[in-house]
Amino acid sequence: MITFEGVTKRYAGGTVAVADLDLEVPNGEITVFVGPSGCGKTTSLRMINRMIDPTEGRILLNGVDVATVDPPTLRRGIGYVIQQAGLFPHRKIVDNVATVPHLLRWDKRKARERAMELLELVGLDPGLAGRYPFQLSGGQQQRVGVARALAADPPVLLMDEPFSAVDPIVRTSLQDELLRLQSELRKTIVFVTHDIDEAIKLGDRIAVFKVGGHLAQVAGPATLLADPADDFVREFLGRDRGIRRLSLVTAGEVRLRDDNLIAERTDVVEARDRDAPWLLVLDKDSRPRGWARTSELPAAGTMAEAALTPYHGFGRDDSLRGALDAAVLSVTGLAVALDGDGRAVGTVSREDLLGGLHG
C-alpha cells in the first residue's frame, strides 16, 4: 500500500503543485490519478519514487517512509513508465527490457531470458528483440516500455500518461492489454491520465485532482459517476456521465423477453397471434436471421418467407452501453441478446435498458 500523509509540494517560485494530500493506494489495484492539466498528478506520482521530494508530509510504501530509502534502490523496486516510452535508442529491445535486471546485476542469461518472457507477456513478437527502438511503431515502443518496467517484477508500477501519445485504436488495445496483464499480475499500479474515459475503464479507484493540487474525490468508477462529490467533479466527468455509467454495468443483468422469438418453420397464421409488433425469426439452430414486422407478414406460408430487417445483437458480457447501442441501431428499438454460440436468448428494448438503470 502507498500512503500519502499530508503531502505538500511547493516548487521554487511558489507554485503549490500538491496541497496537503492524504491518500491511500491499495495493493493489487489500479488507482488512477485524473484531473485537468497542471493539477499535480505527475508531481504526486513522482514523489512516490522520489523523482521529486515533498516539501511537507511523507509517503509510505508498505509502511516504510520512502524518504529513508536510497533513491536508486527505491526506484529499482518500482516500475516506471512514461508518455514517450523513453526507450534507450542505442540499445536493442531485449537490452532495453533488461535494463533493471542489469542494474540489479542479474546473471546475463537470466536477464535475457526474463526480457524475452516479458516481450511475450506484453504481446510482442519475440522476433523484435534484436531490433532498435527506432524500428518499432509507437504502440510497440509503449509495450516495450511496459515490459521494461515489469522486468524485475516490481510490486508497484507507476505510469504517467503512458498511452496518450498513440492513436485511439492503439490506445484501446494497450488499455485492454494492461487490464489483461493486471488480471494476471495483480500489481499495485498508479496510473496518471487526463482522460476520464481511460480513468473509468482502467481504474479500480479513481482520484480526481483539481488545479492547485487538491484532491476532489476518491472513489470507484461507478460511485464516482453516480455520486460526484462536488460541482468540479461533476463538470470534469462531463455531460455524458450517465452514458458512461452504462459502460460499467454488464448487460448480463437485464431482463429479457423471449415471447417475440419465433422459429422460421412456424406458420404465419400462428405468428399473427403473437402479441408483438416485431418478431425475431430464428433458424433451426436458434440463431437470429432478422426481424419481421407482424403487420406485414405474407398471407400464407411459414416465417421463412417473411421480409426481414437486420438485427443488432449483444453478448451477456458486454456492457449495458453495448446493449443500448445495439437497441439504438435497430429500427425495431430492440437489441438481441446472444449466447456464446450466437443463439438468441431474448430481446430487450431501449426503454427497458434505461429503466433497468434506476431499478
Partner 1 sequence: MNFLLDFLANPENWSGPYGIPQRVLEHLEFSGLALLLAALIALPVGMLVGYTGRGAVIAVVSANAARALPTLGLVVLVVLLFGVGTTAPVLIPLVALAVPPILVNTYEGVRGADADLQDAAVGMGMTGPQVLFRVCVPVAMPLILLGMRTAAVQVVATATVAAFVGLGGLGRFIIDGLQTRDFSSTVGGAVLVAVLALAVQGAFVAAQRLLVSPGVRGQVG
Residue 160 Cβ vs partner 1, minimum distance, rounded to whole Å: 9
Answer yes or no: are the C-beta atoms of 272 and 264 closer than 8 Å. no
Sign of CA dihedral 224, 226, 231, 236: positive
Residue 69 Cβ vs ligand ATP, minimum distance, rounded to whole Å: 22
Closest listed residue to residue 103, CA positions, set 124, 134, 78: 78
Give the residues across from 208 on adjacent strands. Answer: 34, 217
Integer CA distances (angstroms), 72 to 69, 76, 77, 222, 349, in order? 9, 6, 9, 38, 58
Give the x-and-dash track for 26-65 against Mg ion (CB under 5 A): ----------------x-----------------------
Contacts of partner 1 in 45-74 (CB under 8 A): 49, 51, 71-74
**Cα–Cα dist 8/27, whole Å:** 23
What are the backbone angles phi and psi of residue 225, rounded to the nearest 5°? -70, -40
Answer yes or no: are the C-beta atoms of 30 and 221 closer than 8 Å. no
Grid cell 536477464 in the structure block, residue = 111
Residue 190 Cβ vs ligand ATP, minimum distance, rounded to whole Å: 12
Q: Which does 84 bind (CB under 5 to 8 A by kind): partner 1, Mg ion, ligand ATP, none?
A: partner 1
Residue 227 Cβ vs ligand ATP, minimum distance, rounded to whole Å: 24
Query: What DSSP letter does each residue of 94-141 carry, written as one string?
Result: HHHHTHHHHHTT--HHHHHHHHHHHHHHTT--GGGGGS-GGGS-HHHH
User: Which residues, 6+ apart, have CB-to-CB distance to 13 below 8 Å?
Assistant: none
Q: Which does 38 bind (CB under 5 to 8 A by kind): ligand ATP, partner 1, Mg ion, none?
A: ligand ATP
Nearer to partner 1, 11 or 88 (CB): 88
The SS3 of residue 11 is coil
Residue 242 Cβ vs partner 1, minimum distance, rounded to whole Å: 38
Nearer to Mg ion, 216 or 324 (CB): 216
Nearer to ligand ATP, 8 or 172 (CB): 8
**Under rule CB under 8 A, residue 187 binds partner 1:** no
Binding site for ligand ATP (CB under 6 A): 11, 13, 15, 17, 37-43, 194
Nearer to partner 1, 12 or 299 (CB): 12
**Cα–Cα dist 299/303, whole Å:** 11
Residue 30 Cβ vs partner 1, minimum distance, rounded to whole Å: 19
User: Quick one: cell of 247?
Assistant: 459502460
Answer yes or no: are the C-beta atoms of 344 and 328 closer than 8 Å. no
Nearer to partner 1, 73 or 295 (CB): 73
User: Quick one: cell of 93?
Assistant: 529491445
Q: Which does 281 bind (CB under 5 to 8 A by kind): Mg ion, ligand ATP, partner 1, none?
A: none
Closest residue to ligand ATP using C-beta atoms: 42
Task: Please identify, among the stretches 83-91, 113-121, 196-204, 324-332, the one whose residues bind partner 1 according to the rule CB under 8 A.
Answer: 83-91
Integer CA distances (angstroms), 11 to 14, 55, 81, 158, 192, in order? 6, 8, 23, 22, 20
Residue 226 Cβ vs partner 1, minimum distance, rounded to whole Å: 36
**The one among 14, 63, 68, 90 contacting partner 1 by CB under 8 A:** 90
Grid cell 546485476 in the structure block, residue = 105
Give the residues across from 157 on adjacent strands. Answer: 79, 189
Contacts of partner 1 in 116-155 (CB under 8 A): 131-135, 145, 148-149
Give the x-and-dash track for 217-256 against partner 1 (CB under 8 A): ----------------------------------------
Nearer to ligand ATP, 9 or 312 (CB): 9
Nearer to Mg ion, 13 or 359 (CB): 13
Interface residues toward Mg ion, by CB under 5 A: 42
Interface residues toward partner 1, by CB under 8 A: 49, 51, 71-77, 80, 82-92, 99-100, 103, 131-135, 145, 148-149, 158
